[in-house]
Structure 1
């Protein structure tokens, strides 16, 4: 068996040699060379380089600003854009996902911030900040708790505006405090809510305190007034309405009168809530589940404070006023009510305090141009304190200020049907940390985040003069612009955010008169006219046209 194997191997070897010889001999055997053996190597596909989202083309001036002609005078869109570009750190072509509602997506400022104390020349009221807008970032809790949330704007840790306020239980056993009238237990059909209703007097002639009592709601009916008017030069009345933290006040839904609360000249309100226990002025319908919705508004008039600080607009037979507001006769009738006046010579007049307060579902149009809004200030002075206040779902303006010298801080306007912040008649003051989040739909055609003017009386004195710092204006409706500035008013804007929808510009500056060949509102400074020059913009981030 072994010999056979060896023979077989020899024959196989010889055969192999003959085959090799036929190919040119063993010495001609070549090693594999290039291209002899086809080897395929699969290289990994390269990772594609990310393509950045294209930057939208720069807005044209006409897309950025709206030009309006009044008395054959206009400020062109190019001129308005040039005013913004003349400032520092402004962004005029903002775009993309930058905000979550009113909150910045990140903690990085959308524009380089300026020191508002330096820009505005005020370090006593204005705080220095390192960011633009009213909120520093997505976790800023400075508006938490004391606000309420809706589709117009949602705030961290805040209850829904449409929710029944926190009244508490035990109203059936509660007693109404001295000075109020027991209106019994509030019922809706056969449902007993258990709320004890304590009604305020029509005219509060002596100081009244409303304590927080579990289960108690304070109701006002018709035109409810604090004190009586002492006139432009009268002494304090000594009447103060004091409201404790957490108190809920509701307008009377059972009467046909326009329910409102008015504080007359010489009297005061002290409504001081806390972040955890805000004071809430609302409609009676809001005291029932599903009694109101995000669309509800105009269920009562609003809150009006009247003071003895100067006004530029004087009623017939009074005034005119001076730059220093020294006229002892100038006064004006407030909108929305009859024969109630504001104005005087007391720059530091004190009409009281509103702190940590919500004012819900207000606004009534008495006639064209004669409306009630969430909060109305008429001739209130710098001694009046207004901070941490929200005006929600007014059918007119969120707040309107007629003359006076009151400053505002931490003020929110949500869901207003008309303007957010409306100032005129010679108001001279400062605002910081303010938000206007307009209605998404259904608002009036000329509603603005802020409307600033002097009632087309360009050179009445004192001249309207305002300074906005750290503001966030979200224009969610189809109004022409977010900011309307007209009437010769002097204004400065610093550390702000302005965002509008497609079809809405960011700015609308109007001049209605020409004096010595120069247009009001945008003319050079003129000390004789108490005019400090054109409006200024510093560190304002503009995201216009739904970009």
Structure 2
């Protein structure tokens, strides 16, 4: 039997002969026996995509900055070892992973850990499946109640430079009881707050009305009359720019602020310049002092004649409980023995264009917490373009959630003096340039007093730190403070390390910031890092 393949060849040969004959090719010479040569030009092979090249791994000295204090230092290699002792950390991040503060995809940049388990808190902290403050490009947790600038933009938020929504009808509006009619500012009715709010006062949202404050505006009197300042959603408060005093809103110990806005109607503290179109720019800062809350929770640094404090915050055996004067204002004290003390609530609040350096180490921030207790509620708050820190916390036990610092001239989150608390869903997006040389996304310390009690012990979960200026590092941890970090993103520009861990006392294994746990010193041991994505040196 003739095979199918062979039959096919025979038919093809006959067909070819008939085709040649029909073309008048009967007289074409036969090439003779053998095959007819056929040349086939093969296309060039398509290169296999290789993707972006992996950069050279960072050295320890590029990842971590070593700083000597009092002749004591923690090497870059030792700092890398601290991070490597944790789980799910990536020290070699690179490429296009973020669009501003948002991840470019919904896939977590590192394997997340459960903050409740790692940090031992299930009442305040939420379990998350992602690292950083945002889960992906469409996360709307920071939408609307924030404002946008070159430091960071958020979904569905308006520009920080835009005139806040005061409303129309100011010429006919009346100031509520307890405030002073200051006439018109632009087209708005200015209702000024008294210098001392000695009784409960409510600031309602009235179309066309803004609330103005001038100089030091105090809520309550420390040791005297207590008061609560209640601010309704959508209210705008503006510092008076017609005089030169440092405009500050300060809540004294024993009194409270109840500033509760909404995502659609945040409460805005700003400068009077912000009330005019083009009155402020993206670089405006330091136009007024800021907001200060003082409480009766323990602090570690004590004024002369008070303290020293003890680990339980009672100053047991001392002539007087530990207290201290707050920075930026003369004679106003914070501290006490009530860790659960409440200075009120701030929710869905913006604080714009603050910060004044009165002297070296004596500054006003966007928001200052002095000895505020765990009963104080701070969440969904933005501090924008402070000329100093976005927020500074002196002692106390207040927890923070959904807190944004944009465009700070100095540190984003500055904690010290024995603060013991938690923060989750926090963002620090530093300004692009012009900031101080030692500005960090977070600065954690105890003012070089290594063993004061209570010992500083902070815990950050789901944080995004974007260090866009020329600071030496994003995270500075020093002064014998204890800390734990989980589910974070840290990104720095070229020339900036990610980490700077410092000890100012001890030697070898007894160096204060990294020594083993010691309950007698209220020391929980070296800092811990879990599920942190580090993208350092502009990679």
Distance 1:32 1:512 in 2: 97
Deviation per CA, 1:405-430, whole angstroms, max 9, x where unpaired? 00000000000000000000000000
Q: Counterparts in 2 of 1:307-326, with a 5 A limit?
A: 307-326=295-314
Q: Counterparts in 2 of 1:43-192, with a 5 A limit?
A: 43-186=42-185
Q: Counterparts in 2 of 1:458-537, with a 5 A limit?
A: 458-514=450-506, 518-537=510-529
Distance 2:264 2:293 in 1: 25
Aligned match for 1:419, one of 403, 407, 411: 411
The alpha carbon displacement at 1:515 in A equals 7.2
The alpha carbon displacement at 1:516 in A equals 9.4
Distance 2:310 2:292 in 1: 25
Structure 2 equivalent of residue 219 of structure 1: 212
Is the 8 Å Cα contact of residues 321 and 337 (structure 2) preserved in structure 1? no
1:295 matched to 2:283:
yes
Distance 2:122 2:283 in 1: 40
SS at match of 1:514: coil
Aligned match for 1:209, one of 202, 210, 219: 202
1:194 matched to 2:226:
no
Distance 1:34 1:344 in 2: 106
Is the 8 Å Cα contact of residues 484 and 527 (structure 2) preserved in structure 1? yes
Deviation per CA, 1:193-246, whole angstroms, max 9, x where unpaired? 31000000000001100000000010000000000012xxx8xx4410000000
Distance 2:127 2:254 in 1: 34
Aligned match for 2:423, one of 409, 428, 431: 431
Structure 2 equivalent of residue 270 of structure 1: 258
- CA 1:325 to 1:46, structure 2 compared with 1: closer, same or farther past 3 Å? same
Deviation per CA, 1:305-352, whole angstroms, max 9, x where unpaired? 000000000001110000000025210000000000000000100000
Structure 1 equivalent of residue 8 of structure 2: none
Deviation per CA, 1:423-478, whole angstroms, max 9, x where unpaired? 00000000000000001000000000000000000000000000000000000001
Is the 8 Å Cα contact of residues 92 and 535 (structure 2) preserved in structure 1? yes
Q: Which has the larger radius of gyration?
A: 1
Is the 8 Å Cα contact of residues 60 and 76 (structure 2) preserved in structure 1? yes
TM-score (norm 1): 0.91
SS at match of 1:172: helix
The alpha carbon displacement at 1:512 in A equals 0.2
TM-score (norm 2): 0.93
Structure 1 equivalent of residue 359 of structure 2: 367
- CA 1:416 to 1:100, structure 2 compared with 1: closer, same or farther past 3 Å? same
The alpha carbon displacement at 1:43 in A equals 2.4
The alpha carbon displacement at 1:57 in A equals 1.5
Distance 2:458 2:32 in 1: 89
1:283 matched to 2:276:
no
SS at match of 2:426: strand
Deviating 4+ runs (over 6 angstroms): none
Structure 1 equivalent of residue 434 of structure 2: 442
SS at match of 1:258: coil
Distance 1:32 1:333 in 2: 111
Structure 2 equivalent of residue 8 of structure 1: none
SS at match of 2:118: helix
1:229 matched to 2:200:
no
SS at match of 1:401: strand
The alpha carbon displacement at 1:39 in A equals 3.0
1:358 matched to 2:382:
no
Structure 1 equivalent of residue 12 of structure 2: none
Is the 8 Å Cα contact of residues 198 and 226 (structure 2) preserved in structure 1? no
The alpha carbon displacement at 1:367 in A equals 0.5
Structure 1 equivalent of residue 10 of structure 2: none
Distance 1:114 1:366 in 2: 42
Q: Which runs of 5+ in 1 are unaligned?
A: 1-25, 187-192
User: CA-atom RMSD, angstroms?
Assistant: 1.3
Distance 1:42 1:286 in 2: 71
Q: Which runs of 5+ in 2 are unaligned?
A: 1-25
The alpha carbon displacement at 1:170 in A equals 0.6
